[in-house]
Every structure is written in structure tokens, then in C-alpha cells.
A and B are shown apart, each in its own frame.
Chain A
């Protein structure tokens, strides 16, 4: 197990999450598999409602009700997050996998000091009070904040500073995996860049970073590997350059064409139609109603996962007939 752990900090296998609502089961994440080594930088991109945030929560085994993880494995440093229970699971959160959220204005408790909140994360994971207090100044400095801010309350900080505090809390225990769910969406572009640089530095210390974003341009600048999600499924997965330069899946191509600036010569093209209703996803390939290459097979059967390059996979019938 430890041998595999060295190679892959994170292995996700056949992960499916459903929301059991009154209207029916929403298949938010459907049979997703991913791997990432220590220090890897993996981007998960997709539209709103593609299941990318749910996937992020599932990595912590913390899908909010009525959601349920119905199958799969999430193995972090050799431990399956989905099999952990009670105290073990609680301790795994924060020390194996941690998460940074989108809105830094609401993620910190307004009535407690920053230092208090960081300290709490450590002491509740078995670090002694004295050691935690000793580590706080260094930790704050490592995220680019002066140590004196430990005594401040969140409302005294700017958005960027608060996001830095969130990151300090998330990395306080040196987790193997850091899930960053739209970490810069609520920030202006200058601060956005600083925060992304900070996340990059966290990655360089050996933490696997999962960047969840709808901003494919942002992901393009930063990540090494990219997974494109559509309607709860990973439709394409591979090294960033391969995915961006030779997108194999029609959805990835459409997504890239819909973003201004990435392909300079072209006017952005919207993807026709809407994302499907995940209670009754379209049979066969979920993208087929919006795809311009749809065939009968696409309507009937789910496409296989096909290797289209080194470590580059896509799930589309077009590729299998090649």
C-alpha cells in the first residue's frame, strides 16, 4: 500500500454521488476515476452543475445531504476516505484532505480571531497548544501575512488576506491533497493572481492540489493535468497541454471555442442547448443532444474511455471508430 502511496497521493476510482431529492435521484457525479501524484496540480473544469464541486466534497467524504456517495473509492496516502468513520474520518479531514472555498468573506468565523481559528485546526488534530502557538507566526508568514494578524478578527482583513488565512488553515496540517473550490472567483484579478501563486507554492511543498474551476483560462495557466467534467462525468482527462492543444472530446473543443482569447483567431462560439437534467440524463453519451457529431450509437450507448495520447483519455464514440 505504501508503495502505491508514493506514486499516487490520490486515487479516485469509480466514484458516484447522487442527490436523493423529491423529484428523483440526481446523478451529480457518475463513475469518476482520477489519479494524482504528490505535488501534482490537477484542474477540474466544467460548467455550473457539472458536478465538479460535489466531486470536491466527495474527496473529503463530506457530501451534504440529501447527497450520498453511492460507490467508488477515494484513496489518499493509502487510506480510503470513503471507508473511514467517526473520529478517524474527522481526523482525516484537514490532515489528509483539506479544502479552500470560494468566498473568503464567509469562510471564517466572524466572532473569533484568526490565530484562534488556525490554532484550533491544529489542536483538534493532536498538536499540542504550545506547538500550535509556536507554528502560527510561521504559518501566517508562509501565506504572505504578517504574524501580528493572528490577533485580528476576520472583518479587519481584506478579501485576499482572508483567503490567505483560509489557505493557512487548510495547509496547517500539511494535508496530502488540497481541494481548492473556485478559490479566486470572489476576488479581483490582482489578488486572484497572488492567491494562485500562493496555491502554487503550496503545491511545490508536495501537496497535491485539485483546482476546481469554471474558468478554463485560469486552469490553463496553472494546472498540469486537466479533467473536463460534463453532466457528472469526466469526459476528458490528461496533461493540460494535450487537452488544450489536442482536445479529443467534442465537448472540450466546444468549451475551448466558447472561451474568448484562448483561440485567438476565432470569435467565441457558444455551445448550443443547455446542460442536461441529471435526474434523467440523456441515454448513451450525455453530451449527445448538444454534440454536432452525434450518431445513433451515441444516443444508445455510453461511450468507452479511450486512450488518445500519453496519459490522455477521452470518452467519446468518435474516437473508437478511428
Chain B
């Protein structure tokens, strides 16, 4: 279902009305800049630092210097290296969680919104039940239940955000399915699967992109929270949230770089995703209004 959409129809996406309005343009570009920079850091980590992030490479608690631009932690690990490789961890968790969200939430939302009836009521009830939990609390509970690991953190985050996609897609389907061209497609005997994939789904893409960005911002924070609590990666794997936890005890000792840089990165990445989403939603809102 999704592979067909992604494979064959990607060329058509350029036809979608996705020109970014002036009002949101700055936000989107800034956000994209931040996110692309973080992705670059993750991919090019070995080129940007000579150190292994999990090894002791200098004296403990070295303040930022030319040799260690972000200082070292209590075990003498290079913080700059940990930030770079930590980007891999956070992006891995966030993107795999969102991929799961989309693969589950979007088809369910499509089917639920299009067919309605008992199925819709059942699914909506389940989704609303999940949605009614505070997302962080639910994610923590799930991560505890599943046990601490990278994949489990991703699953916990995915479960928490599936309802967001489901509800958004379902709502949009309800409005698109009443359009005349859907009636036309039925009258001309097009199969339901085709109507869903070719005539409804393309109209959801702008909204999905907005939800994706806003949601990614949330997921970054949730991931950081889970690893801060030790529910994600295991030491010594670098992770911003976990480094924040490690550095927290030394803040009063004046070793500010231990919490400042991980915290800064978490904030930047979350703000980056959020700005993309806000900027794009400016466009979607304009289209709807």
C-alpha cells in the first residue's frame, strides 16, 4: 500500500500545492537548516571528530578547549563526539518511531474515516483512549513495561503518537470523501482501494507533513525524557538525554558544559522540527480557509 504510494507517486508530489507562503517561509527555512545540520552531524560524525565517543580520550572534566570543543565528561569522554554520535541515536529513535506511527496511523485513519460505521467507532474509541493519557506518562509506562532499549523506546514513542496521525487523517478523509470528485470516482466504477490511495491520500499529504514536523519535535523531547530516565540506550552509547542525566549531578560543581551542550542540542532540534511544522501549517491553514 505505502510502497506503491512512495514508489510510483513521488514524482507527482511536486504537483501538490506546497509553495510556502512568505509568512511561514523564514520559519520553514530556519527549521530545515537546523534539522539538516543535525542530520549532517549524525551522518558525518566520524569525519567531524577523531575520537570514539565511548572511550576515555582525555582528562575528566576538561572544560571546552581547542582539543575538546565541548569539554569532557567525568570519564574523560569527548563531549563533542558524544553530541555528534548522540545525534544518530535521537534521529534513529525519532524517525523509526514516526515511521511506525505513519505506517499504522495513516492506513487506519483512511479506512476508519472512509468506511465509518462500527469499525470507525471502535477504532476512534481506542485511539481516543490512548490520546487521553498524558503522552509522556504513557511513553514512560510503556518503556518501563517493554524494558530499556533503543527499539523499545521507539515503540513506546510510536504508540503514543499513533492517535495523532489517526485522528488527523480520519478528519481529513471525512472532508475529502464528501468532495464531488470522490462521488465521480464511485460513479465511474473505480475500486475503493484506488479511491483511497489515489484520490484521497494525495490530498492529505500537506497535512501529514505538518503533523509529521510538529510531532517530530514532540518525539525529540520524549526520546530525551526516556533516555534521561534510563529507559532508552544503555551507557556508554552516546545519547543527548542520557548525557543530560549524567551531567546533571555536576552542575553545582561548575561543569556547565556537561548539561549545556546536550540540552542545547535537544532544544535546537525540537525547535527546528516545530518551526518547519508551524511554517507549513501556515500554508495548509490558508488552503483550508
Q: Does B15 contact A (CB under 8 A)?
A: yes
Task: State which size class the interface on B falls in.
Answer: 20 to 34
Among A101, A103, A124, A166, the residue within 8 A (CB) of B189 is A124
State the main secondary structure of chain B at its contact with A: helix
The CA of A166 and the CA of B198, in the complex, are separated in Å by 18
In the complex, chain A residues whose CB is within 8 Å of the CB of B191 = 90, 124
Find out whether the CB atom of B190 lies under 8 angstroms from the CB atom of A124. yes
Find out whether the CB atom of B184 lies under 8 angstroms from the CB atom of A107. yes
Tell me the B81-116 residues at the A interface (CB within 8 Å): none
Q: Does B22 contact A (CB under 8 A)?
A: no
Find out whether the CB atom of B183 lies under 8 angstroms from the CB atom of A121. no
**Closest A residue by C-beta to B190:** A124
Find out whether the CB atom of A111 lies under 8 angstroms from the CB atom of B16. yes
Q: Does B25 contact A (CB under 8 A)?
A: no
The CA of A99 and the CA of B190, in the complex, are separated in Å by 13
Find out whether the CB atom of A121 lies under 8 angstroms from the CB atom of B190. yes
Interface centre among A91, A111, A125 (most CB of B within 10 A): A111
In the complex, chain A residues whose CB is within 8 Å of the CB of B63 = none
Find out whether the CB atom of B181 lies under 8 angstroms from the CB atom of A106. yes
How close is A204's CB to chain B, nearest CB, in angstroms? 22
Q: Does B187 contact A (CB under 8 A)?
A: yes
Tell me the B103-132 residues at the A interface (CB within 8 Å): none
In the complex, chain B residues whose CB is within 8 Å of the CB of A101 = 180, 183-184, 187
Among A95, A103, A153, A170, the residue within 8 A (CB) of B180 is A103
How close is B13's CB to chain A, nearest CB, in angstroms? 9
Top 9 A-B residue pairs of the complex, sorted by shortest distance between their CB atoms: A94-B189, A93-B189, A106-B180, A94-B188, A99-B187, A109-B181, A107-B184, A121-B188, A111-B202
Interface residues of A (CB under 8 A from B): 60, 62, 90-95, 98-99, 101, 103, 106-112, 120-121, 124-125, 153, 166, 169-170
Q: A101-B183, A107-B181, A111-B203 are in contact. List 6 more A-B contacts (CB 8 A).
A: A94-B187, A109-B198, A109-B199, A124-B190, A124-B191, A124-B194
